[in-house]
C-alpha cells in the first residue's frame, strides 16, 4: 500500500477544483459552493427542492440557502406546481442555461489540466477508476445495491 491514503489526493484535487471554479466563475457571481446546485437545476429542470437535497445528499437548510442565492442572482425560478401547492419546482433562467454551457466547457478544460501527460488510454482508465470509486463510496454509505460483480483487471 502507498504511504498516503487515496483520500488525501482526492481531497487535494477537490480543494484545487473549488479554487479553480471560484476563479473561473467570479465574473458570474456564482461560487463553487453553489455549483452543484446550479448544475443539478439546469440539468434536471423542474426538480423539487426536496429531490434536489436528496440527489445532492445535502440537508434541506443548505439547499434552501443555495436555491435562494441562485434565485436572487437571477439563475433560478421557483414555481409552485398545480399538483402540490406545498412544494416548489426549480427551473433555470435563460441566463443560467447560457452559463451552464460555459461551465461544461470549463469542466472539460479542468479535466485536461488534471490529465495533462496522460495518453488517451490512461485518460479513459482514470475516468473509469474514479467512477468506480464513486460508486463504491455510494454503495458503502447508502447501501444502495450489490457490487456489480466486476473484478479489477
Q: What pLDDT, on the 0 to 100 scale, is given for residue 16?
A: 97
d(CA 54, CA 109): 29
Res 89 pLDDT > 60 = yes
Q: What pLDDT, on the 0 to 100 scale, is given for residue 152?
A: 45
Q: What is the gyration radius of the CA atoms in the chain, in angstroms?
A: 18
Q: For domain 6-114, which CATH number applies: 1.10.10.10, 3.90.930.60, 3.50.50.60, 3.10.20.90?
A: 1.10.10.10
Domain ranges of the chain: 6-114, 115-153
Neighbours of 5 (CB within 10 A): 10
Q: What pLDDT, on the 0 to 100 scale, is given for residue 153?
A: 43
Q: What pLDDT, on the 0 to 100 scale, is given for residue 18?
A: 94
pLDDT tens-digit map of 49-84: 999 999 999 999 999 999 999 999 999 999 988 887
pLDDT tens-digit map of 4-57: 999 999 999 999 999 999 999 999 999 999 999 999 999 999 999 999 999 999
**Spatial contact of 70 and 41, defined as CB atoms under 8 Å apart:** yes
74: left (phi over 0), alpha (psi -120 to 50) or beta: left
Amino acid at each position: 500500500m502507498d504511504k498516503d491514503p487515496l483520500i488525501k489526493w482526492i481531497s487535494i484535487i477537490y480543494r484545487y477544483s473549488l479554487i479553480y471554479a471560484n476563479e473561473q466563475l467570479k465574473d458570474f457571481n456564482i461560487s463553487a459552493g453553489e455549483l452543484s446546485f446550479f448544475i443539478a437545476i439546469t440539468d434536471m429542470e423542474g426538480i423539487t427542492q426536496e429531490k434536489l437535497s436528496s440527489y445532492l445528499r445535502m440537508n434541506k437548510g443548505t439547499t434552501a440557502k443555495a436555491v435562494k442565492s441562485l434565485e436572487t442572482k437571477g439563475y433560478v425560478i421557483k414555481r409552485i406546481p398545480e399538483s402540490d401547492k406545498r412544494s416548489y419546482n426549480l427551473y433555470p433562467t435563460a441566463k443560467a442555461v447560457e452559463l451552464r454551457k460555459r461551465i461544461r466547457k470549463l469542466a472539460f478544460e479542468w479535466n485536461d489540466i488534471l490529465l495533462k501527460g496522460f495518453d488517451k488510454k490512461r485518460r479513459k482508465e482514470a475516468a473509469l477508476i474514479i467512477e468506480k470509486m464513486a460508486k463504491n463510496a455510494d454503495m458503502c454509505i447508502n447501501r444502495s445495491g450489490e457490487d456489480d460483480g466486476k473484478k479489477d483487471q
